[in-house]
Every structure is written in C-alpha cells, then in structure tokens.
Amino acid sequence: MDNIIPKEENTSVSTTDLDTIKSVYYWLNAKPDTNIKVFQETRKVTFNDIITLNQQIQDKLKNHNLFTSVTTINIIFKGGKIKSYGAWNEFQRTSWEIPEVTESISISWDINIQLPNYQLPQRHTMKVRLGSSIKPGEFFQMMTTSDDDVDIIENTSFLVCKVDFVNAVISNELIAIVENWHSCLKKTDTIAWFQKYAENHKHSIARISHYLIPFTGLMLLYVAFKYHLSKYETIIFDKVTYTDMYIWILFIFIVYFLFNFIGSTLGERIYSLVNKFDSPMIFDVTRGDKNSQDEINKKNTGLSKQLNIQFWLSVIGSLLSIILTKLIERFWN
C-alpha cells in the first residue's frame, strides 16, 4: 500500500495581503481623531470670501497625494429656507440677487488622501460653520438643558472649524488656513457709540430713568407744600392742623406711588428699546443681506432717537423741578 502523504495547504497570508486587510478595515471602521477650533470674534463674510476659503483649501491639498476631494455647502436663510449644493461649481454659478437673508453657512470637505504606510487612501473631513446655530432667545434654554460645555461653545461661536483626521499634520494645516482666513476678513459695520453704551449700561439707564420720575413728583409736591405753608403766619397745632398734616402725608403716598408707576413704565420701555437694537449683518452674500443691513441701520438710528428723547426728558424734568424749588424758596425768603 502506497504511503499517502497529505498535501499541506498553504494557510499563510503574505505580509502585503495583511497590510491591505488592515487598511481596508481601518478605512471602513476606524474612528478618526478630531480637532476643533472656534472663533468668537464676529467678522463680515462675503461671497468672494467663501470662494477664497475653498480655493486656499484646494491649493493646500495639492501638496499631498490627493485621491478625491468633494466640497458641499449649505446656506440657511431666515424663515427656515435652505439651499444645499453638492457640487461647488453649482454654488459658484448661482446668482445671489435674491431677497433671502442669510442666517448661517456650513461648508464641508470630504477628502481622501493617500498616506505613507497605508494601502488605501485615508478619509479626512472638515466642516466650517459660519454664524451661530442658535438664536439669542434659545441661549438660556440651551444653558439649562445642556451639560456639554464644548457643545455650548460651538453653538454660540461665530465660526467653528472641525476636522476629523487620520494624519495630524494635514489637520493642523487645514485649521491654520481657516484661522488665517478668519483674521483677513473685514470687521462688521461699526456700532454707533450711543448704541454700544446703551447696550452695556442698559440696567443703569433704565433705573436712573425710573427713579428720576418719582423724585420729580416729590419735588413738585414739596413746592406745593411750601406754597401752602406760606399762607400761614403762625402754625397752631390744633385739630385742623393735624387734619391738614394727615392730608399732606396722604398726598405724599399718592404722588410717590403714581410717579413711581410712571417711572417704572418709562424704565421698562427704555430697557425694551435697548433690547430692540439689532447687531450688524455678518453676511454680505445675497441682495437680501445688503437690504437687511440698510434696514438695521435705519431701525437702530430711530431707536437711538427714541431712547435719547425719553431718557433726557426724565433728566430735564428732574432738573427743572430742582431749579423751580430753589427759585420759589428764594422768592418766598
């Protein structure tokens, strides 16, 4: 009987095949690291600025062994309307002579780069969001419901750059481009000094306007009381005098509460006027953005005039009451 020698199966896997398997597995399953850079300072962003940012990114990627690069952009307008572009050329060809007002812009880059020691191109993604993703009225709600400080900072920042990367050098290069691009942007339209002062001291302005009104009322009552006393050569503390004193004390309370109510209403109105000031537009992409900036300028100018009139009327009224009191005292003396 012939000896049967079983044929050994070649179960070994070449090193090259193993590296390929590792690359495929990593490409499909690996979770890349993340770099996030936030920019708090608000700047003006135009259509040409957006084009420049993408061009700078593409120029930097040419220095690497680029396999694929896809740029997408989403533009969110006030009122909930959104325009999404899966191809950058379509975004460039679009006419932006439209009435919509830009609220925020999100640009994403999906990049595959061939790296040393990797068999397959490795995916890197970068996302740049311009404009706060939450409205001012939603900030307090977010503060009370979110425990993630990073999430709060991201959602309230003017610009957020997030890079998911395999190669840290590429990540740092991309973030550096965005940082330099942000520093080169123009500043937003200048806020008038009075608006800036009112916004920074609105509590004090409202309180002063509030308390000046009851002060004016009490000063006028003091003038009336002095006039009343001038009718008497001598004061006799009898029943009539005590009744008279009771009536004047009652007048004091009535005048104080009446004028305090008026002052409180004026203070609340001034505080409300200050809160109605609008910040300058950060986008200058559409025709609606330009028109919105003109409307903001007109609105803020009108609010400043109203605020000046109401505040200075309360101040002048108080000064006049003091001057009137002094003049009457001098006249009677």
**Rounded CA gap, 287 and 95, in Å?**
10
Q: How confident is the model at residue 237 (pLDDT cuts 50, 70, 90)?
A: low
The pair of three-digit structure tokens given for residue 69, joined into one six-digit string: 């690069």
Alpha-carbon dihedral angle through residues 280, 282, 288, 294, given to the nearest 10 degrees: 20
**Rounded CA gap, 71 and 52, in Å?**
13
Asked if 102 and 77 touch (Cβ cutoff 8 Å), the reply is yes
Percentage of residues in the chain having pLDDT higher than 90: 38
Residues 280-291 pLDDT 10s: 999 999 999 999
Helix axes 239-275, 287-332, angle to 10 degrees: 160
Higher model confidence: residue 212 or residue 138?
212
For residues 14-25, average pLDDT:
57
**Short-list 279, 277, 297, 281, CA closest to 44:** 281
pLDDT averaged over every residue in the chain: 82
Q: How confident is the model at residue 332 (pLDDT cuts 50, 70, 90)?
A: low
Percentage of residues in the chain having pLDDT higher than 70: 80
Higher model confidence: residue 267 or residue 45?
45
CA 85 remoteness from chain centre: 26
Least confident of 44-58, 194-208, 228-242, 255-269: 228-242
Q: How confident is the model at residue 26 (pLDDT cuts 50, 70, 90)?
A: low
CA 208 remoteness from chain centre: 28
For residues 296-325, average pLDDT:
86
For residues 48-73, average pLDDT:
94
**Rounded CA gap, 185 and 173, in Å?**
19
- pTM score > 0.85 for this model? no
H or E segment to which residue 103 belongs: strand 102-113
Q: How confident is the model at residue 7 (pLDDT cuts 50, 70, 90)?
A: very low
Residues 192-209 pLDDT 10s: 888 888 888 889 988 988
CB burial string 306-321: b at 16+ within 10 A, e below: ebeebbeebeebbeeb
